[in-house]
Amino acid sequence: MRQVEPCSNAQRDEMLINTKRDGSPILCTGGFITTSDFSLPEDSEKREEHMVRCRLSGKRKAAKNLARSLKNARSEGPVTVTRRPGPRNGAYQFGFEALKYHIFIPSELAKHPGLDITKSVRVVYDIAEEGSHHAPYACKARYKDPSRLLGIKLKGNYIRGPMKGLAFQKWLQCGSTQAIITAKSIVELIRQPIAGTEKE
């Protein structure tokens, strides 16, 4: 598979049914045009049906993954802590995936209890009823902004230092604009009614 050029969302459907001169189909994956060896049906109607099935399959998988993530979030389930190179040499940025969003963990907070070793931590998404959470994740949001309702708490056990084996609880806070967008979306997602519990 060969990466060629970035493409826009509007171009993807059209690109999916075009073919290169050598007959191999052009695909668009993750925002990039790529080529692949598999072939699409030659008949235009069958090809369109094939593309519709692919889109529906992708939507079902996305919905299933989101439902699984929501269940984990509502039950204070564990998440995998990832580490990626930071902007400075020798520094790393820690974080985890939360309902389609990436949440950063300050390096000092991650290393102190040993999250750089265990690479797993339980996450509590605590939503205040109104006003502002006592420890809002989006700490720079305006007081009545819905994003301030969300508090994100990490729970686990120290695995290094004099407190090794003891439990810890740490609230995450972030002052970025992206944190406001992320917090608002997480609040909306977690407040969605659970399937089968909707009131008639």
Q: Alpha helices of 132-193 — where are they, by DSSP H? A: 177-190
- φ/ψ region of 23 (left if φ > 0, alpha if ψ in -120 to 50, else beta) reads left
Q: What is the dihedral of CA 131, 136, 142, 147, to 10 degrees?
A: -80
Reported as a single tens digit per residue, the pLDDT across 58-86 is 767 766 776 777 787 888 889 999 988 87
Q: What is the pLDDT of residues 151-196, one digit of tens each?
A: 999 999 999 989 999 999 999 999 999 999 999 999 998 887 755 4
Q: Which residues make Cβ contacts (< 8 Å) with residue 111, sequence separation at least 6? A: none
pTM: 0.64
Residue 187: name the closest of 148, 140, 159, 160 by CA: 148
Name which of 19-23, 42-46, 77-81 the model is least confident about: 19-23
- What ranges make up the beta strands (E) of 67-166? 78-80, 82-85, 92-98, 101-105, 120-127, 150-157
CB 178: neighbour CB atoms within 10 A?
12
Q: Token pair for residue 100?
A: 């389609």
Rounded CA-CA distance 138/149 in Å is 9
